[in-house]
Amino acid sequence: MEIPYNSTARPDTGLYNGKVGIWLFLASEIMLFGAVFSGYVLLRVGADPGIWSMGLMNKWVGAFNTLILIASSATIVLAWVSLKLKDWAGYRKWKIATVIFASLFLIVKWSYEWPAKFTHYDITFKSDEKAVEVFSDPDFLGKDYEAKLKEVWHKRFDRDEKDWDKVDLKDKPLDGHIVGYYTKNDDGTEEHHPVGEAFGLSFWSHALAWRYDERNEGRVTGAKRDTFLKRGIVAIDFEPAHGTWPAPRHAHAGAIRYAELKGGSKHDGDDHSAHHHSLRIEKSQISRLSSYEPAHSTFFATYYTLTGLHALHVFGGILVMLYHLLPVSRRVYEADPERFTNRIEITGLFWHFVDLVWIFLFPILYLL
């Protein structure tokens, strides 16, 4: 059966049917992303101080991925133009380039950016006194901890410097990486367990999405998903994140310097050459420990929803583009070049929409 107006324009609309279809689809996509964006606005405007952790996003990665998507948007137009000029080889070249750029975007997102967040932790403390114990450690921030903490706080949560007094010291998080932990044997002695990189990659750690919440103590159901309770952890070696916290003044006498022995590492955050020594933090000092997983806060729940939904669109686009490179697509092109060219045009329209969404996601998630 011949489907009409696949390669020629319909007299009443002036367009081939696929083009009408893709614009209707894009309209529904605008509504979908519009709902998510308006949810973002609502949650951000109503967020309590100390929730919207925009200052920790890696702007370099965000900018790199933006440039990749822009490049893919240009190459997909060039692929379509090649078909308009009846140049199959040119089409293949630009289409493959588009798939490579799109795949690179997902590789950066799913193998670096997200895992680095699942191995990056925030700790909040049981009381202001316990927080002072940790922050004022002579090998960490020392006596003038408040000034340094304030600087980090403003960069991370409070660009306009209005909210410092609204959040207790105990709720001002210390962020970093778990490089070891301690358990207690039956005879009362402690055992140290180093936690290292996974797969030999500095941004992957064996401490992936660990959790502790003091409210889980004594609970049966909560304890199952609580890493501290499950492993019997009594303390951790915690390395404050590079680029966020100032370098220590001198080496820590007691803590295991696992991170330093491994030569230090670059993490999700700005790259700084200064190495941190790990701090020993007792479970009794911690109120909550969470990686930057969706359950961490409203900010990260929103971040994963927005970037995850967008990444699924990128993934879907890659599948369609790969299909258009298969021999079966070549046969369609040879049978009806105009029809195939139209297919590539509507794929391109979808792809530009994916690019458009990212154009707005970049500033609202990484820069603001």
Partner 1 sequence: MPMADNHSPEYYKGPFKRIIWIVGAILIAGTIASFTVDYIYAEELTFKQALYFGLGIACIKATAVILYFMHLLWDIKFKTISLTLASTVLFFIGMMWLTVGSEVDSVKPGQDDTTWLHGAQKDIKFKGDKSPADPTQTQ
Interacting residues with partner 1 (CB under 8 A) = 9, 11-16, 19-20, 23-24, 27, 30-31, 34-35, 37-39, 41-42, 45-49, 59, 62-63, 66-67, 70-71, 73-74, 77-78, 81, 84-85, 155, 159-160, 166, 348-349, 352-353, 355-356, 359-360, 362-364, 367-368
Buried b (16+ CB within 10 A) or exposed e, 302-326: bbbebbeebbebbeebbeebeebee
Q: At its nearest, how many Å lie between partner 1 and the CB of residue 289?
A: 24
Cα of first residue to Cα of last residue in the chain, in angstroms, is 54
Task: Tell me how far apart the alpha carbons of residues 343 and 51 are, in angstroms, rounded to a whole number.
Answer: 45
Residue 282 or 338: the one with the smaller Cβ distance to partner 1 is 338
Residue 230 or 352: the one with the smaller Cβ distance to partner 1 is 352
- Asked if 234 contacts 183 with a C-beta cutoff of 8 angstroms, the reply is yes
Residue 112 or 258: the one with the smaller Cβ distance to partner 1 is 112
The distance of Cα 218 from the centroid of its chain, to the nearest Å, equals: 33
Q: At its nearest, how many Å lie between partner 1 and the CB of residue 48?
A: 5
Task: Tell me how far apart the alpha carbons of residues 107 and 311 are, in angstroms, rounded to a whole number.
Answer: 10
Residue 140 or 358: the one with the smaller Cβ distance to partner 1 is 358
Residue 25 or 145: the one with the smaller Cβ distance to partner 1 is 25
Task: Tell me how far apart the alpha carbons of residues 23 and 292 are, in angstroms, rounded to a whole number.
Answer: 37
Contacts of 141 (CB under 8 A, 6+ apart): 135, 148, 149, 245, 246
Q: At its nearest, how many Å lie between partner 1 and the CB of residue 295?
A: 21
Sequence-ordered strand ranges (E) for 165-304: 174-184, 190-194, 197-198, 201-205, 211-213, 233-240, 279-282, 286-291
Which residue, chain included where needed, has tokens 């949560």? 157
Burial of 108 (0-12, 13-18, 19+ CB in 10 A): middle
Q: At its nearest, how many Å lie between partner 1 and the CB of residue 275?
A: 24
Residue 319 or 368: the one with the smaller Cβ distance to partner 1 is 368
Residue 85 or 89: the one with the smaller Cβ distance to partner 1 is 85
Task: Tell me how far apart the alpha carbons of residues 43 and 66 are, in angstroms, rounded to a whole number.
Answer: 24
